[in-house]
Amino acid sequence: MPSSMMPVFRLLPLVVCLLFALPAAAVEVADLYGAEVEAADQSEQTREGALRQALGLVLVRVTGDRAVTERSGVAGILEQADDLVQQYGYQGSDASGVTLRVSFEPTAVNAALRDAGIAVWGRERPATMPWVAMAADGLLTESTPADGIEAMREAARARGLPLQLPRAGEAERGRVTPADIASGNDARLMSVARGYGTANLLVGRIGSEGGSWGGRWRLLSDGTELASWQGAADSRPALLAEALHRVADIYARTYAARDGATSTTASGGGSGGTGAVGAFDPGDDGVLVAISNVAGASDYNRVAAHLADIGVVEWLSPALVREDMVLFRVKVTGGSGVLDRNIDLADWLRRDRDATRQAEGLSRGGAALGYRLSR
C-alpha cells in the first residue's frame, strides 16, 4: 500500500469522540455485529457450531444479502468464526439450554468479506415508516396486535433496518387514515412521516381471503416511488415480515455494491494549492471527493467520520486542503455512483457544482464527486 494511503481504521482516532446529529432520512444502526443464538450447552463443540450460526446472522445484516451464506467464499469465513469473535457470553443453564450472546470484531469481519469480494453495507441506513391499511383492523400502528408488529420488528432487527412505526391514534386524530393509503394520498403520508423524522415510506394494503394473506406494496423515498410489488403469505405476521425483508433487499442494492462490482479508481494529478498538506500521486487509486465550506477540525472530523463509515469504502486518505475545501481520495467497491448515493444519505452534504468541477479538474479524467457542507 502506498505510504499516502490511509486505511479507514487509522482515521477512526480522529473522530472517536465526535458526536453529531444524523440526518432525518438516515439512522446509525448499533450492534450490527452482534447476535444471539440458542445452544444446547456450553461445550466447546456446541459453541463452535453456535458461533458459525451467529456469524451467519451477522453477515446477512452487514451485507444486506439474505443469501450471503450461500455465496462463494463465505463457507471459509464461517469456519473462521471463532477467530473473529470480539466477546461472548451465555445466559441460562445447561439443563434447560442456553443463549449464546456474541459480538464479532467489525474490522476483521469487513476485511474477510472484502477478501471474498463481498461489499459491506454501512451503519448509516435509511429509517423507514410503514403506512399499512389492514382490511379488518384499520391502520397499522405501534399498538397493533403484537403478532404483526413483532414480526416487523424482528425482521427489521435481523436486517439492521431502522423502523419507525406510526403512533397509536393517527387515524383517530384524522392525520392519516386507511382511505389516504387506498387513494394514494402520498403527500399526506409524506407530510406526517416528516414529523417523525423520515422521508422513506413503505405503503401497503393487506387483507385475507380463504385463510391466506395478500398485500400490495410501494416503497417511496422523499415522494419518489422506488419499487412496487405484490406479496402473499400464510399469515399476517409472515406477510408483514416479508415486506420488511423486501425493503432491506432494495436498500442493500442501492447502498452496497453487488456481484461483479469492482473497485473504482481514478488517478490524481495537479499541484498543491493554498494550505496543501500533500500533493497528488498519480499512482494512488481512488475516487476524488471534494467537500467545500469546511471551516475547521470539527467539520473535517465530521466529514471523515461519514466517509469512513460507508460500507463500500475500502480506504480513504486526505489528499489536499485548499482554503475551505478538503479533497479526499476514496477507494470504493461498486463505483462512484454507489458512493454518491451513500454520501447523499447525510442531508448536511449537498451536491455542489463548483466542488465537483474542482475535483474533476484535479482527477485527470478519473472519477470525481463534489459536495458542500451545510450548517
Could you read off the pLDDT of 245-262 as tens digits, one per residue? 999 999 988 888 654 444
Which has the higher per-residue pLDDT, 66 or 363?
A: 66
Highest mean pLDDT: which range of 6-15, 94-103, 106-115, 271-280: 106-115
- Name the domain boundary from 207, 233, 255: 255
**What are the E-state strand segments in the chain?**
26-28, 34-39, 85-93, 97-104, 124-126, 128-134, 138-139, 200-209, 212-221, 224-233, 263-264, 287-292, 313-322, 325-333, 349-351, 368-373
- Confidence tier at 101 by pLDDT (50, 70, 90): very high
Are both 158 and 267 inside the same structural domain? no
Q: Decide if pLDDT at 310 tops 80.
A: yes
**225 assigned to some structural domain:** yes
- Confidence tier at 222 by pLDDT (50, 70, 90): confident
Could you read off the pLDDT of 183-220 as tens digits, one per residue? 999 999 999 999 998 889 999 999 998 889 999 999 99
| pTM for the whole structure | 0.71
pLDDT given for residue 21 in this prediction: 32
Are both 227 and 272 inside the same structural domain? no
pLDDT given for residue 309 in this prediction: 82
Are both 241 and 326 inside the same structural domain? no
- Confidence tier at 341 by pLDDT (50, 70, 90): confident
- Name the domain boundary from 211, 230, 255: 255
pLDDT given for residue 336 in this prediction: 87
Are both 159 and 269 inside the same structural domain? no
**What average pLDDT does range 50-71 have in this prediction?**
96
Could you read off the pLDDT of 158-172 as tens digits, one per residue? 999 999 999 888 766
Are both 104 and 134 inside the same structural domain? no
Are both 36 and 54 inside the same structural domain? yes
- Confidence tier at 227 by pLDDT (50, 70, 90): very high
Are both 91 and 177 inside the same structural domain? no
**4 assigned to some structural domain:** no
pLDDT given for residue 257 in this prediction: 63
> In which residue are the cell numbers 423507514 written?
128
Are both 267 and 204 inside the same structural domain? no
Q: State whether residue 107 is helix, strand or coil.
A: helix
Could you read off the pLDDT of 6-43 as tens digits, one per residue? 333 233 332 222 223 333 467 889 889 999 999 999 99
In which domain, by residue range, is 39 found? 27-115
pLDDT given for residue 263 in this prediction: 44
Bridge-based pairing state of the strands 212-221 and 224-233: antiparallel
- Name the domain boundary from 203, 235, 255: 255
pLDDT given for residue 13 in this prediction: 30
Choice among 8-12, 54-58, 299-303 with the minimum mean pLDDT: 8-12
Which has the higher per-residue pLDDT, 79 or 335?
A: 79
- Confidence tier at 342 by pLDDT (50, 70, 90): confident
Euclidean distance between the first and the last CA atom of the chain, given in angstroms as a whole number: 36
**Chain mean pLDDT for the chain:** 82
| Phi and psi angles of residue 370, each rounded to the nearest 5 degrees, phi first | -140, 140
pLDDT given for residue 265 in this prediction: 38
**238 assigned to some structural domain:** yes
**54 assigned to some structural domain:** yes
Domain count, the chain: 3
Query: d(Cα 145, Cα 64) in Å, to the nearest integer?
Result: 28
**185 assigned to some structural domain:** yes
| Cβ neighbours, 10 Å, residue 294 | 20
Percent of the chain with pLDDT over 70: 85
Are both 135 and 153 inside the same structural domain? yes
Choice among 10-24, 53-67, 118-132, 317-331 with the minimum mean pLDDT: 10-24
- Confidence tier at 45 by pLDDT (50, 70, 90): very high
Q: Which cell numbers hold the place of 247?
A: 425493503
Q: Decide if pLDDT at 358 tops 80.
A: yes
**2 assigned to some structural domain:** no
What DSSP designation does 42 have?
A: S
CA distances from 146 to 9, 177, 235, 237 (A): 41, 21, 13, 9
**6 assigned to some structural domain:** no
Q: Decide if pLDDT at 274 tops 60.
A: no
Are both 143 and 168 inside the same structural domain? yes
Are both 104 and 137 inside the same structural domain? no
Q: State whether residue 103 is helix, strand or coil.
A: strand
pLDDT given for residue 268 in this prediction: 38
Are both 309 and 333 inside the same structural domain? yes
Is there a contact between 250 and 229 (Cβ–Cβ < 8 Å)?
no
**195 assigned to some structural domain:** yes
Domain CATH number, residue 209: 3.40.50
